[in-house]
Structure 1
């Protein structure tokens, strides 16, 4: 039966390697297929117990075998079952052929798919599985289009057909399932890019205990208790000087709100002292909103020198703009050689002037969204989204820094204990697609960095707390969610409250 979703996320190739290891360890391929069908049947019954009708789409290979065995099981339970195939079942081999023979021997109606054929009940996508790496072929694409247009409930076998298991990329078209039951190992592509929009509810079925030696994971799901535990405890005799002096630079003309959000969030995230360098026009509003913040107006970059010399960490970018003032302030800040978070226009300025990047190092945290990442990499946003894991690795290598690529299934660079293993954030919701959310994230990152957390840990903890705070704030609904609504939930989460 399915269990909790695992933290380790694998590639399709690694999953096939694990499947082969289980078979080599004494579990037959047909037995694994039978267990997969059992898991599908239990998950399907739990979701649609009274449906009574099942229509299964089968392709070739083991994914189709799972579909044939599921159909056989549903028929034995008294459901009305039909199967459409897109690969001639007489050409199936091995365990998949055995599965087809069982379904055919039970008298299930099995026929070739053609557009316009009737669809009923719960639809089962057993077409492609993890095998796809490019575009979906025309005949399969037509079947997927019919499934998506049916308005019937859909369960995907292992992963929705058309979805790349490693990247979450869509090969032209993909099944939109309400339920996906995935086997043996969790696949990274289920949880990032287009994956979440196509998977629906995710259920994991291990099928068997994995061997002790497993392939390297592509990523791990971020764990809040584990990350919170890496913060040092606060002594009773503590004072503000022990929790860092964070300096934020930004807020060009007409863009003061961003730096205000970041500064207030930083204080709520535990920084001992928070200072802001900004345009003079923003000083009164900032002090009125948050009198605990120290604010200094700057017209020339050299005026930042005194505060840069006293700070422990920097946040550069919220509302920074791309003016001459912005560029000179960024250049001055980068020259200080401090741990720093670069966001928003700080990233756009570096993309436009790559010479600034020579001042970055492993203590630098970058927080781009896909369009900013594309500018930094000199490619298109679509190319970034087509392979988000590769984009994170490329940014980290090119700029020698820690990176989070924001978006559904945000991906971060790895921890020092596993630098090649990305971190993935499952939290967050569409209500967070609104202005100022990145500024709040920068404030959390900066506060944690100023308090002395290792840069990679600070980044992962900030990303997860920010997303979880968004979920807490959205308990009253996603529509109308404001970035400032996250600030108090951020504080609660950092203090160990989960609700």
Structure 2
């Protein structure tokens, strides 16, 4: 499976792989179900080796069949097993699995709304799998909510029930798993959006299927892999590592543009200038003298700074007033490669354009909704579609931020960031990302490379900084680990 662990597939693609395993490779569907049950039980025993009592919750389809067979295997292994089902009967291979469980002497308790849950050390979720795109029905929702409220850890088989495996959307009640044992191929929706609160530890088992299964199968997306720039040549100097001009910092917003500029320095830009309000110069020079801070009152003062810069970082603390709009318009018209964030994106939503120069846009869902003339709910309903639509509309590389940030290219490529943590949900984090990506552009990366590498370094630095706790994490706490990670060192 090592050759495919970074490949992400849609539900339709996974079903095609499943069908190919059965029809072309000759692995019966019931055998796949048996292997999934073994993989699920193995995961359960690894994570909860002391567990003696398990409750397995089975739906009517194939995911329920995985659950019935896991129950039979667990009982053979000496565990006390209780099986609860949503219906009196199962279909297809799941019916055979239910029969196999019954033949062990196990019974099935059909769940009723006022039933309590059995005593268990672990609950096993085998209710829906990949098949559910809508909110569960009322009876199943009641069971899901009871499992979540039980305080007992949950192992989800393939997909936490109620989570859309295609998009990461949670349209209703959904299992909050401690561990998810997923099968055959990675489902893209388990890596972004609300999935972060439901998947827990995610494990992938290819069920022993041969490499031939993946021949000719192109994934829809990929997971980022950890990377950094190669070592610098020994004769490098500041002029060979690019000159970033960070533009922003309206009245009262000096912190945003300072964070952006300092992140560009820590990510390796040779020179970083800041174009901001004159009132911020003293504080910037005192706090970070390596930043070349310039007070600009309008486009005429910005022009000479643009001429010297190789890459622009536009938007942190920029504002949407006359000053910010004038600088934004002048910067975009310069044709320089750029990273656009914050109010730089809000202004773009008001005055749309397609970019001809290398450009990276870094919206959060609210900004993405404005750029698409949509709503946050619609963006979050399918983050993959939203990111790709933005990349095509603006002819730019797009980073759709959030849990499981997405990087999309106008040519359809899409990568998903597997790092990051809730401590990064705070002010200034986006300003850092803008500076990091701009610095990577300045050092010779193309827009796609800079966005992917920048998102990865930013998220991994956040994870290193959060080792002392997520709550209270500051954006500036990422700067030291960012420098280390960018050089391939332990932070």
TM-score by length of 1: 0.94
CA contact (8 A) 2:8 2:186 kept: yes
Matching residue within 411, 433, 441 for 1:441 = 433
Instruction: Point out where structure 2 has 5 or more consecutive residues left out of the alignment.
Output: none
Contact 1:428 / 1:471 at 8 angstroms: preserved in 2? yes
Equivalences for residues 442-481 of structure 1 within 5 A:
442-481=434-473
What residue number does 1:247 align with? 245
Query: In structure 2, the residue corresponding to 1:196 is in which secondary structure?
Result: helix
CA distance in structure 2 between the partners assigned to 1:481 and 1:6 by the alignment: 31
Tell me if 1:14 matches 2:17. no
Deviation digits for residues 66-94 of structure 1 (CA, Å, limit 9, x no counterpart) = 000000011111111121111332x522x
Secondary structure, aligned partner of 1:199: coil
- Contact 1:5–1:204, Cα closer than 8 Å, also in 2: no
1:493, 1:412 → 2: CA distance? Answer: 20
Given that 1:56 and 1:124 are in contact with CA atoms closer than 8 Å, whether structure 2 keeps it comes out as: yes
Inter-CA distance 492–233: structure 2 relative to 1 (3 Å threshold): closer
Which position in structure 1 is the counterpart of 2:201?
201
User: Pairwise mapping of residues 35-434 of structure 1 onto structure 2 (< 5 A)?
Assistant: 35-89=35-89, 91-93=90-92, 95-119=93-117, 120-121=119-120, 122-207=122-207, 208-210=209-211, 211-225=213-227, 228=228, 231=229, 233-354=231-352, 357-358=353-354, 360-361=355-356, 363-414=358-409, 419-434=411-426
Number of residue pairs matched by the alignment: 486
SS in 2 for 1:168: coil
Deviations 1:125-166 (A, max 9, x none): 111100012232222222212211222121111001111111
1:224-281, Cα deviation, whole Å (9 max, x unpaired): 23xx3xx465222222111111111000001000101111111111111111110000
Structure 1 residue ranges, 4+ long, deviating more than 3 angstroms after superposition: 2-5
SS at match of 1:174: coil
User: What is the Cα deviation at residue 178 of structure 1?
Assistant: 0.9
Q: What is the SS of the residue equivalent to 1:497?
A: coil
Structure 2: how far apart are the matches of 1:300 and 1:337? 18
The offset of 1:333, in angstroms, is 0.5
Structure 1: unaligned runs, 5 residues or longer: none
Deviation string 1:414-438 (CA, Å, 9 cap, x unpaired) is 4x9xx42311111111111111011
What is the CA-CA distance between 1:3 and the residue it aligns to? Answer: 7.8
Q: 2:336 touches 2:357 (CA, 8 Å); kept in 1?
A: no
The CA distance in 2 between the partners of 1:264 and 1:378, in whole Å, is 33
State the 1:111 CA deviation: 2.2
SS at match of 2:244: strand
For structure 1, which segment, 140-149 or 436-445, has the greater mean C-alpha deviation from structure 2 after superposition?
140-149
Q: Distance in 1 between matches of 2:357 and 2:135?
A: 37
RMSD (Å) for aligned C-alpha atoms: 1.6
| TM-score (ref. length: structure 2) | 0.96
